[in-house]
Structure 1
């Protein structure tokens, strides 16, 4: 009993020479990294928080501290 092999149509496959290799022009390009994947990042702030939010939070903290001191003095 003779077998034709795992892929009987292999010699007829285009781009494959008799040696079984693939010529350089037939190979796909290498994969790119994922650094270029996704949408372009347009909002990229260079500094941290702005002055406005820091001032508002600071005033709230000082106000709460003063209110706790006054409440502790009354009770």
Structure 2
């Protein structure tokens, strides 16, 4: 894997002074990317929601629906 140097070369980058400083009124160069912050994570892929939470949420929603339909019929 090839990593880019996050520090710009003052000799090849416009708008930088000799020590790499940005003169007043000049826009600084863009920052380095965070994509090179660490290794690619392949051992823990996302698998989505498991069945237990989906069934539990469905049962809670069904209980509320049955309760409110029963409440409306009881009026």
TM-score w.r.t. structure 1 length? 0.47
Larger Rg belongs to: 1
TM-score w.r.t. structure 2 length? 0.47
1 or 2 for the larger relative contact order (CA 8 Å, sep ≥6)? 2
Greater percentage in helix:
1
